[in-house]
């Protein structure tokens, strides 16, 4: 970044050091009033290139595959929200994961990953990185003994956890895992997509890298795809920036601008998502057709104490199964009207998903079973509608599923 821009950013950061409230940072962090017009919002710098004053003399931007001012503004804001110094943004969440791997791994390296993670992460390791000899060992990272065994059995470059995990909501203790990874000389990467820094702060628990699919709660409105890698270490940041430029994975200015707007309300949205999800979870918990229910904000959640320790609320996601198994679950998902049957999570609108056939279809069936992703599992990303409307919709969809099951008898 050029000196002039850097100085202005330093001014903004200085100004913000007086106000460290999360919601204030979500609105102001990284923003610099436009130097030519004073525009309050960072403009969409829709430009490929930048006029240079002389050979070797530029304003910190040379070509938009390397860096772009709108994307940089988003990076500054996301870094500050996670409480770290460095961030790089990407075209998608999986582009961020790809850069993480290309920057940190060498052929034949070994990594340890949570057994239940987003299906696309599994596909990337099993079907792409495996071609270069990279071995990804999927373990139940909530099982300390299994985790310790996996990281000490072979030299391990990094441990990659998703907590809560998509879609089973299994939690991993971040602090404990950081200790085990660091003891073995490995880095700890936390996919914080499902909670965002509004509800969970991995760097305060010793993580080295935080990954986001900004597609989800960070942008929050179903309008973009994007990703981010945030770190406390300049050296890692240099490697991510270099790799991003080398493979051409940067985010475009317009989605970065939309994300800058969406993230302004992430604290408010996450609080409301969690409040709505708790109400929906309490409704489902007492519903006679619901046979299995997982929500980290409920006392009945198997890892409720860990959720209380490292999350400030339960988040938006609920996983459940209903009487009648796979067929009944599918009938339920086909019967919703307000909730949308769709891939994605984390948007203002409530989304319902069938992980086994949608988001996690590429995870081998045996791995799905081991991770608790049963064929009847339904994932609900509770949105910001009036929770009574969501409950009304689920009530009628559950009735449809029951009527169908009775008709089939
Ligand atoms: C937890 C998690 N991480 C990463 C990704 C990948 O992000 P994207 O779809 O933006 O590539 C997803 C996508 O669903 C996800 O749920």
Looking at residue 318, its pLDDT comes to 98
- Look over the chain and give the mean of its residue pLDDT values, rounded to a whole number: 93
**Atom nearest to 162 CA in ligand 1:** 1
Looking at residue 223, its pLDDT comes to 98
The tens digit of pLDDT for each residue in 199-227 reads 999 999 999 999 999 999 999 999 999 99
Of 190, 191, 216, 346, the one to substitute when testing ligand 1's pocket (max ligand atoms within 8 A of C-beta) is 216
Of 98, 166, 214, 381, the one to substitute when testing ligand 1's pocket (max ligand atoms within 8 A of C-beta) is 166
β 317-322/378-381 pair status: antiparallel
Place of tokens 């931007």: 61
Question: Of 60, 82, 162, which Cα lies nearest the Cα of 117?
Answer: 162
Burial of 286 (0-12, 13-18, 19+ CB in 10 A): exposed
Looking at residue 9, its pLDDT comes to 47
State the pLDDT confidence band at 123, using cuts at 50, 70 and 90: very high
Catalytic-labelled residue, pool 109, 140, 191, 208: 191
Residue 332 alpha carbon to ligand 1 centre in Å: 25
Average pLDDT of the segment spanning 340-367: 92
Q: Is 118 a catalytic residue?
A: yes
What letter would DSSP give residue 43? P
- Other beta carbons less than 10 A from residue 344's beta carbon: 17
**Percent of the chain beyond pLDDT 90?**
84
Q: Is residue 176 scored above 50 in pLDDT?
A: yes
Q: Is 269 a catalytic residue?
A: no
Longest pairwise C-alpha distance within the chain: 80
Of 114, 117, 118, 124, the one to substitute when testing ligand 1's pocket (max ligand atoms within 8 A of C-beta) is 118
Atom 9 of ligand 1, nearest CA residue: 93
Catalytic-labelled residue, pool 201, 216, 239, 269: 216
Looking at residue 115, its pLDDT comes to 93
Looking at residue 351, its pLDDT comes to 97
Catalytic-labelled residue, pool 23, 50, 59, 65: 65
Which residues' Cβ are closer than 6 Å to ligand 1?
Answer: 92-94, 118, 120, 162, 166, 191, 193-194, 213, 215, 225, 227
Residue 385 alpha carbon to ligand 1 centre in Å: 23
Residue 145 alpha carbon to ligand 1 centre in Å: 28
The tens digit of pLDDT for each residue in 20-43 reads 799 999 999 998 888 889 999 999
Q: Is 48 helix (H, G, I), strand (E, B) or coil?
A: coil
CB–CB of 281/290 below 8 Å?
Answer: no
CB–CB of 220/348 below 8 Å?
Answer: yes
Looking at residue 405, its pLDDT comes to 75
Cα distance from N-terminal residue to C-terminal residue, the chain: 68
**Percent of the chain beyond pLDDT 70?**
95
């Amino acid at each position: 970044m050029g000196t002039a821009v850097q100085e202005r950013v330093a001014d903004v950061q200085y100004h913000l050091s007086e106000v460290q409230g999360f919601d204030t940072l979500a609105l102001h962090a990284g923003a610099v009033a436009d130097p030519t017009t004073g525009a309050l919002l960072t403009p969409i710098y829709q430009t490929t290139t930048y006029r240079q004053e002389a050979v070797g003399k530029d304003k910190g931007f040379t070509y938009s595959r390397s860096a772009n001012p709108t994307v940089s503004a988003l990076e500054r804001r996301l870094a500050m929200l996670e409480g770290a110094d460095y961030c790089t943004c990407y075209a998608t969440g999986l582009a961020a994961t790809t850069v993480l791997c290309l920057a940190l791994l060498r052929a034949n390296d070994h990594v340890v990953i949570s057994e239940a993670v987003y299906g696309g992460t599994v596909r990337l390791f099993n079907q792409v990185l495996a071609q270069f000899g990279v071995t990804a060992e999927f373990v139940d990272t909530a099982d300390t003994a299994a985790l310790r065994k996996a990281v000490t059995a072979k030299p391990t470059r990094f441990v990659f956890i998703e907590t809560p995990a998509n879609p089973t909501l299994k939690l991993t203790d971040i602090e404990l895992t950081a200790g085990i990874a660091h003891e073995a000389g490995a880095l700890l990467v936390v996919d914080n997509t499902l909670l965002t820094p509004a509800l969970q702060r991995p760097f305060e628990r010793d993580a080295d890298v935080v990954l986001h699919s900004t597609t989800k709660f960070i942008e929050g409105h179903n309008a973009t795809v994007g990703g981010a890698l945030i770190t406390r270490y300049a050296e890692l940041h240099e490697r991510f920036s270099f790799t991003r430029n080398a493979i051409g994975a940067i985010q475009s200015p317009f989605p970065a601008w939309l994300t800058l707007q969406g993230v302004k309300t992430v604290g408010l949205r996450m609080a409301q998502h969690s409040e709505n999800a708790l109400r929906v979870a309490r409704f489902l918990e007492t519903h006679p057709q619901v046979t299995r229910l997982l929500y980290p904000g409920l006392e009945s959640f198997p890892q409720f104490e860990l959720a209380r320790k490292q999350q400030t609320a339960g988040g938006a996601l609920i996983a459940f199964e209903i009487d009648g198994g796979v067929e009944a679950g599918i009938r339920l998902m086909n019967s919703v009207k307000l909730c949308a049957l769709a891939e994605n999570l984390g948007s203002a609108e409530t989304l319902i998903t069938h992980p086994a056939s949608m988001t996690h279809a590429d995870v081998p069936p045996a791995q799905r079973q081991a991770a608790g992703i049963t064929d009847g599992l339904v994932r609900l990303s509770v949105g910001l509608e009036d929770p009574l409307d969501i409950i009304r919709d689920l009530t009628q969809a559950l009735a449809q599923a029951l009527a169908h099951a009775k008709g089939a008898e």
